[in-house]
């Protein structure tokens, strides 16, 4: 039976039980002044409904503009490329690539933290003028960053604007490889905003495995993407591990085992929550032993995430498990921010853009809770509803 105008259940795009088409029809109705007044009231409700979102966007724009001013005037351009280049120069000269004293320094003199196999890869670049190395590197990062935003589902214009958000912007200005790691994660988990599942075998196994292993090999505390591949497509994960193993074995004669021992010691020093440049780690609030336990649990939790929204949950777990997360590590929260209600996503983006550690982790907690409530596979919303008294729900 065909329903009449305004009948049925209120749904998406409806106001007080009417659809948007009903509102437009009322606006053109000339039956009487009451109907015209009702139509005007409906349009006023529509306009007011957009007001909170517009205010959040305006506030977010102001906070981002402030962060951009600080980055452009005070952040050293290309610093995260210069650090490994200098480490490679020391290694070539027979010196120590992993300087313990660098933890008391700043800027381009900060400690080199990447695994040893990075040294012979970047060593040939040390003989080139820095501008010749830096320019194409930054262009590559901008292209990968834009592609990751588009692949995640942002439109052509919005994807460009999203790159102004500090987790993107700081990594781009500094030339940080986190952009490539996040790009690999998005390539593994998404296509045109659609969640991918390695078990669906839409790509060769070695591609899925290499994407996950690449992230884990460069930043061991961000092993979660590879673990998810291990859960959903073990053969692909094994192939990715083989690829990394080949790189390690090929470079081992050049590096020796000592470099790997030095890197392990450097990683231990980098996890110290008292280090001034550690970023925004949980260990500053919980202490190192508890934060290490939380990081281990975050890896185990990958085996329990619902596949339907795995990209969002694995991203959240990657943030929680990161040993020394700087602002760009919170890029991994972006998939979840796109799934939660828009207002909550904007609030999270705003909190992260402040560079205030407590607010940043509040954003992680807010997005995680919102995703848990809205995720159909977790069904936290109905569970919470059953716990609340009936009169609480009525409010």
HEC string for 188-231 = HHEECCEECCHHHCCCCHHHHHHHHHHHHHHCHHHCHHHHHHHH
Q: Where are the domains of the chain?
A: 75-270
- Burial label for 136, CB within 10 Å (0-12, 13-18, 19+), is exposed
Q: Quickly list DSSP for 34-87.
A: HHHHHHHHHHHHHHHHHHHHHHHHHHHHHHHHHHHHHHHHHSPTTHHHHHHHHH
pLDDT at 324: 87
Query: With 80 as the cut, is the pLDDT of residue 383 above it?
Result: no
Q: Is the pLDDT of residue 276 over 90?
A: no
Non-local (6+) Cβ contacts of 178 within 8 A are 171, 219, 326, 328, 329, 331
Evaluate if residue 140 carries a pLDDT over 80: yes
Entry pTM = 0.84
In three-state secondary structure terms, 130 is helix
Q: Stretch 63-75: mean pLDDT, rounded?
A: 94
pLDDT at 379 over 70: no
CA Rg value for the chain: 25
Q: Please state, in angstroms and rounded to a whole number, the distance separating the CA atoms of residues 149 and 227.
A: 23
Condensed to tens digits (0 to 9), the pLDDT of residues 149-185 reads: 999 999 999 999 999 999 999 999 999 999 999 999 9
If you average pLDDT over residues 337-343, what whole number do you get? 94
Percentage of the chain beyond pLDDT 90 is 75
- Least confident among 95-109, 216-230, 368-382: 368-382
Q: Tokens 């990209």 appear where?
A: 311
- Of 224, 223, 227, 234, nearest in space to 199 by CA: 234
Residue 369 is predicted with a pLDDT of 96
Neighbours of 133 (CB within 10 A): 19
pLDDT at 380 over 90: no
169-to-69, 71, 142, 154, 350 alpha-carbon distances in Å: 11, 8, 9, 17, 14
Residue-level pLDDT at 16? 41
By C-alpha distance, which of 176, 184, 188 is closest to 217?
A: 184
């Amino acid at each position: 039976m065909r329903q009449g105008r305004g009948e049925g259940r209120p749904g998406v795009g409806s106001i007080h039980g009417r659809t948007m088409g009903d509102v437009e029809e009322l606006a053109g109705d000339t039956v009487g002044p009451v109907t015209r007044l009702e139509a005007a009231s409906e349009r006023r409700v529509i306009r007011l409904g957009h007001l909170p979102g517009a205010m959040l966007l305006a506030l977010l724009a102001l906070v981002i503009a402030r962060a951009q001013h600080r980055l452009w005037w005070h952040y050293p351009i290309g610093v995260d490329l210069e650090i490994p280049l200098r480490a490679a120069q020391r290694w070539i000269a027979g010196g120590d690539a992993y300087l313990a004293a660098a933890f008391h320094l700043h800027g381009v003199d900060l400690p080199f933290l990447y695994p040893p196999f990075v040294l012979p890869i970047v060593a040939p670049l040390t003989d080139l003028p820095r501008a010749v190395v830096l320019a194409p590197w930054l262009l590559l990062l901008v292209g990968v960053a834009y592609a990751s935003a588009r692949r995640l589902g942002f439109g052509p214009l919005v994807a460009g604007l999203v790159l102004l958000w500090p987790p993107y912007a700081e990594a781009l200005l500094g030339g940080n490889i986190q952009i490539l790691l996040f790009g690999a994660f998005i390539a593994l988990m998404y296509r045109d905003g659609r969640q991918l599942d390695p078990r669906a075998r839409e790509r060769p196994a070695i591609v899925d495995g290499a994407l996950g292993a690449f992230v884990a090999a460069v930043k061991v505390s961000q092993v979660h993407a590879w673990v998810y591949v291990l859960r959903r497509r073990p053969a692909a994960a094994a192939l990715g591990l083989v690829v990394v193993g080949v790189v390690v074995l090929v470079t081992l004669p050049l590096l020796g085992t000592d470099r790997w021992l030095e890197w392990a010691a450097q990683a231990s020093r980098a996890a110290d929550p008292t280090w001034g440049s550690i970023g925004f780690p949980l260990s500053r609030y919980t202490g190192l032993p508890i934060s290490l336990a939380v990081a281990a649990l975050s890896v185990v939790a990958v085996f329990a995430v619902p596949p339907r929204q795995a990209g969002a949950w694995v991203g959240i777990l990657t943030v929680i498990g990161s040993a020394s997360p700087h602002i760009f590590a919170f890029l991994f929260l972006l998939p979840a921010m796109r799934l939660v209600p828009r207002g909550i996503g904007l609030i999270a983006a705003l909190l992260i853009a402040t560079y205030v550690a407590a607010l940043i982790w509040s954003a992680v907690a807010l997005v995680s809770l919102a995703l848990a409530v809205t995720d159909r596979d977790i069904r936290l919303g109905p569970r919470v509803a059953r716990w609340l008294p009936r009169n609480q729900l009525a409010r």
